[in-house]
Structure 1
Amino acid sequence: MDRVAQLEYCKTCIRREFSPKKGIVCSLTKEQATFAVFCDDFQEDKIESQLLEDKRNRQHNEEVYEDSLGLSKIGIKDGVAAGVIVITLAILWFGIGLLFLNRIFFYPPFLLALGIYTLLKGIKKRKKNRLSDSEILS
């Protein structure tokens, strides 16, 4: 287990202390973690565990919100779907304005560009997640 994984483990232990020179250390040994997989002296700090879980959930929700252009509020959490919706709206707005109002509106091209950007970003994220899943299963 590397130091980052040990720190994640130690952050939720009631026996953690902070040393200005070493960082997070064990209150029993006054040293950094040396365990390989599990610490025999670990006792969970339920409050800290809940705070860390809440923080991870907030970060995930913010990421989904940004990736979907805010459409996650209505249940669309995928960047690809959000991109397709925005592109469709841009084309409809442009077409309706041109055909029925004899106008070319200023916003549809920007909306189209935003939709394409979101679509490509969503495709890239899907590919990345697929690679991560396949690497884990290998």
Structure 2
Amino acid sequence: MKVAKGPIVVQSYHYDLVNPDSEVKTDLQVQVQDYNDSEEIESTEGKMIQIMTPFGIHPEQAPFAISGLIGQVVQLQDVAADEDYTLSTELMEELSRPLVEQIQIITYQLTAMTLDHGYELNFQPNTGDNEDLDD
């Protein structure tokens, strides 16, 4: 599928120094919504969506916590603008990966400045496919 991407936009990024014993939190989500602010783009050029990644993270024994929202507008060129379309898991991971990497980059750079060493976040996608269900 042909995809055109807009710039990654950091809508918010919040960093706090916290007690390392504070509750561990790893809340990173990927949300997809139609993007309707596409006046300058012809509707025949493809479906416009916005990938949003809200997050709230406090790694185990880390002296910091972060939260924020990062997003990117994407044009699915092979999908009609008015077509209902559901992203596959693979395409969702592909489109959201640069946003997650941006969170990792910002966090590494900020902790390098504030803690004298960069802290690497390591995220693994959780699609819910491997969850155990009790009957």
TM-score of the alignment, normalized to the shorter chain, above 0.5: no
TM-score where L is the length of structure 2: 0.29
When you count strand as a share of all residues, which structure comes out higher? Answer: 2
TM-score where L is the length of structure 1: 0.29
**More relative contact order, 1 or 2 (CA 8 Å, 6+ apart):** 2
When you count helix as a share of all residues, which structure comes out higher? Answer: 1
Query: Which structure is larger by alpha-carbon Rg, 1 or 2?
Result: 1
